[in-house]
């Protein structure tokens, strides 16, 4: 015999005639405490205000219900959740690979990438790749990782100390700034650059108008 387990539990609160209790603790549309009233009275008030009776605390005794425009409430909640997801920042792990005998120019280039990643609020996985006889000189990779960590210490810290992983040596750098802070600073810098461009364009247009007026008067 198959047991009926029922449908999925709804995450939606009970509203209006779906509320099945004899009395509720009622909260008015402006947040004022009305008190404990019979369910029929609460539903009557909801009709008078042209609002919904929404159960906001089902486990309370008696349950707490509020008078509100439930459709508007759902829409505003969805917009807030959407905005929160939009502003949510995920830390990304970037990777940078180096050779233990890297030349100074390549080192500066790689370090520049690491600096950019840390400024963006991302973690950076640094991998030193050993080949051939280089594998017998792990101290070369260790010293290189230490040097890099010291060069970028104003922007990041060693989150995972150097460790050997087969033919590679790996270290992870974490940013001092949170991703959200880095994003906010990037947006602010972008807004400043935009304002500067607009100001320069206005000055250029003003100079052109003055030149045209000067030619016309001549």
| Domain co-membership, 100 together with 58 | no
CATH number at residue 33: 3.10.20.80
Three-state SS for 20? Answer: coil
Averaged pLDDT, 158-168: 91
How many independent structural domains does the chain possess?
2
Q: What is the pLDDT of residues 18-73, one digit of tens each?
A: 999 999 999 999 889 999 999 999 999 999 999 999 999 999 999 999 999 999 98
| Domain co-membership, 48 together with 98 | no
**Mean pLDDT over the full length of the chain:** 86
Averaged pLDDT, 169-188: 79
Q: What's the pLDDT at 87? A: 60
Token representation of residue 142:
């260790």
Q: Is 36 among the domain residues?
A: yes
Any residues with CB less than 8 A from the CB of 15 and at least 6 apart, and which? 52, 53, 54, 55, 70
Contact criterion met (CB below 8 Å) for 171 and 141:
no
Q: What's the pLDDT at 38? A: 96
Whether residue 14 is predicted with pLDDT greater than 60 in this model: the reply is: yes
Q: Is 81 among the domain residues?
A: no
Q: Is 205 among the domain residues?
A: no
| Domain co-membership, 55 together with 129 | no
Q: Within 13 Å and on the Cβ side, how many CA atoms surround 192?
A: 6
Domain holding 152, by residue range, is 93-175
**CA Rg, the chain, in Å?**
32
Q: Is 215 or 67 the better-scoring residue by pLDDT?
A: 67
| Domain co-membership, 50 together with 102 | no
Q: Is 107 or 207 the better-scoring residue by pLDDT?
A: 107
Whether residue 10 is predicted with pLDDT greater than 60 in this model: the reply is: no
| Domain co-membership, 60 together with 120 | no
Q: Is 199 among the domain residues?
A: no
| Domain co-membership, 104 together with 150 | yes
| Domain co-membership, 110 together with 157 | yes
Q: Is 9 among the domain residues?
A: no
CATH number at residue 144: 3.30.110.10
Q: Is 195 among the domain residues?
A: no
Q: Is 86 or 3 the better-scoring residue by pLDDT?
A: 86
| Domain co-membership, 112 together with 167 | yes
Q: Is 185 among the domain residues?
A: no
Q: Is 201 among the domain residues?
A: no
């Amino acid at each position: 015999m198959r047991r009926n387990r029922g449908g999925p539990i709804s995450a939606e609160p009970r509203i209006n005639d779906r509320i099945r209790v004899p009395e509720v603790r009622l909260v008015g549309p402006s947040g004022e405490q009305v008190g404990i009233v019979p369910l029929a009275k609460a539903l009557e008030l909801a009709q008078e205000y042209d609002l919904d009776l929404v159960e906001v605390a089902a486990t309370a005794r008696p349950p707490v219900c509020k008078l509100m425009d439930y459709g508007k409430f759902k829409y505003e909640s969805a917009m807030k959740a959407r905005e929160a997801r939009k502003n949510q920042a995920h830390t990304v792990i970037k990777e940078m690979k180096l050779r233990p005998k890297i030349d100074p120019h390549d080192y500066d280039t790689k370090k520049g990438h690491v600096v950019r990643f840390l400024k963006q609020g991302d973690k950076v996985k640094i991998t030193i790749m050993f080949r051939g006889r280089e594998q017998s000189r792990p101290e070369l990779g260790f010293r290189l990782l230490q040097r890099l960590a010291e060069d970028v210490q104003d922007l990041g810290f060693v989150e995972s100390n150097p460790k050997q992983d087969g033919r590679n040596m790996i270290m992870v750098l974490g940013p001092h700034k949170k991703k959200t802070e880095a994003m906010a600073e990037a947006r602010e810098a972008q807004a400043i650059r935009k304002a500067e461009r607009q100001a320069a364009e206005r000055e250029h247009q003003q100079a052109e108008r003055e030149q045209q007026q000067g030619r016309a008067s001549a």
